[in-house]
Copies of this chain bind each other. A is one copy, B any other.
Amino acid sequence: MEEPEGVIKDMDPRLRNLDFAFNPRSIAFVGATESMRKWGFLILNNLLTGGYRGEVYPVNPGRDTVLGLKAYPRVSDIPGHVDLAIFTVPSRQVMEALRDCAEKGVKAALVITAGFKELGEEGARAEAHMVRLAREAGMVLIGPNCQGICCPANDLYPWMPILFHPPRGRIGYVSQSGNILNMLIGHAVTAGLGVSKAVSSGNEADLRTVDYYTYLGEDADTEVIVSYIEGLQDGRDFVSRAREVTRRKPIVVLKGGRTTSGVSAARSHTGAMAVSEDLFEAACRQAGVVVTRSIEECGITAAAFVNRPLPRGRRVGIVTGGGGLGVIASDFCTEIGLEVVPLSSRTLEKLEKMLPDWWVPGNPVDLVAGLDFSVIKPVIETLMTSGEVDAVMFLWIGAPRLKNARLKGERGMDLSGVWQSMDQYFLEHIGELYELMHQLQVPLYIATSLRMEDGGDPDGCPPLVFDSVESACRAVSAMAEYYRFREVMS
């Protein structure tokens, strides 16, 4: 039998079987149904409407077909080979079907079904049985009590959120909460980026967060890993293995359960074992993992790493299309430990020649004039080549686009075409700025209310454009911190 395209080397050989989960040639769906409120319908339907092109075998002893596909009473009745088995049947029915899978040689199980460890001792025992069986069969088991996985490159979306088909991209996601997974992905996707692979890891009965790190660490499609964590089962293992990954690519983490009440909420959510916040942060520092404090910060910071060089220090040059934005950015940078450094007189003189007479020399560089890239580009280039800053921010935010924007009066000129031509002008020139960034290897962070298109082409996709000054500042700081870790490690 031919194996699906593998990308993993030098790891626990069983982990390689995650290839069968993310790139399956065929799927058995245990619990497939047409009852529209059941997860066995919603997830199967997402898989089918998501465009997956492999074989799908619904397993349901009570039906001949499900959603137009021939159904089978048991996994063992399926005539063809099965790479991935998905479970949405009630927890007491999982074991028997899993045994069938083991006999059939299925290599990956996605157990979405809840009702295991999180419900107490009996559930924990059932969960342990399940894991033992999977491991003996050399099968990887995702979940239980999770919302599914996705791999856009293979049009694979066997997960809960309806019509949520993020495009292909370079960010890998591991989350101990399905909702938060969706929100994290949302922040990247609405900013124009996409997903390599995502997994809602649930109770982590078999595979743990750090196993997915190892797998995604070897995955050529994944440039950065994002992760929501409520609890760790083995802190030492986490540190040493995460560190192996962060030597090569960044991991950005959001930790749930930082406070007593958060820990108590986490206990009833996934039954996660609490980790003291201080210990966790120390472990992350040791492992070179970037720690964030909110869902948005986590999602955006991770996306910032894609296709952008790292700042080699904490000195920032700010170019702004509005004086107030420069003030806010200076404050925020300083508050998170970045340095809005004074520029040398040599650099200021160069800038002075490009800017109007009434320009007040300094950093931030307030452009004073309008959106004119014949000025903006040399200004940014001057900062990048000065050797005086490690990162450049370009801030151009103003009024948002209102859904109900329209001409209200019968007087005046219709300027509604202006937005489109501004977008076009901006998009044309933003590409040149990013070229400059790659050429000079000084990272550029653009914050603007002009919106990029939805992503979809991970190779051609330009780096993230930020929609707030604060999130851009945080990204600079996180990336500079990661650069320092890499330097220390090398």
Contacts and interface: CB of A to CB of B under 8 A. Distances in A.
A468 interface: yes
A222 interface: no
Contacts of A46: 412
Contact of A334 (B259, B362, B404): B259
B470 A256 contact: no
A340 B179 contact: no
A270 B405 contact: no
B260 A334 contact: yes
A85 to B, nearest CB: 19
Contact of A408 (B165, B264, B331): B165
Contacts of A414: 49
Contacts of A470: 294-296
Given A322-B180, A331-B262, A398-B161, A155 B68 contact: no
Given A362-B268, A366-B268, A402-B164, A411 B67 contact: yes
A409 B52 contact: yes
A404 B49 contact: no
B257 A327 contact: yes
User: Number of copies of this chain in the oligomer?
Assistant: 2
| Count class of interface residues, chain A | 35 or more
Contacts of A334: 259-262
B330 A179 contact: no
B294 A360 contact: no
Interface in A26-63: 37, 44-53, 56
Interface in A161-184: 161-167, 175-180, 182-183
Contact of A262 (B176, B327, B419): B327
Given A295-B328, A327-B265, A358 B119 contact: yes
Given A49-B407, A180-B322, A408-B50, A340 B415 contact: no
B259 A331 contact: yes
B265 A402 contact: no
Interface in A405-436: 405-409, 411-416, 418-419
A402 B366 contact: no
Interface of A: 37, 44-53, 56, 67-69, 115, 119, 155, 161-167, 175-180, 182-183, 185-186, 189-190, 228, 230, 254, 256-262, 264-266, 268-270, 294-296, 321-335, 340, 358, 360, 362, 364, 366, 370, 397-409, 411-416, 418-419, 449, 454, 456, 468-470
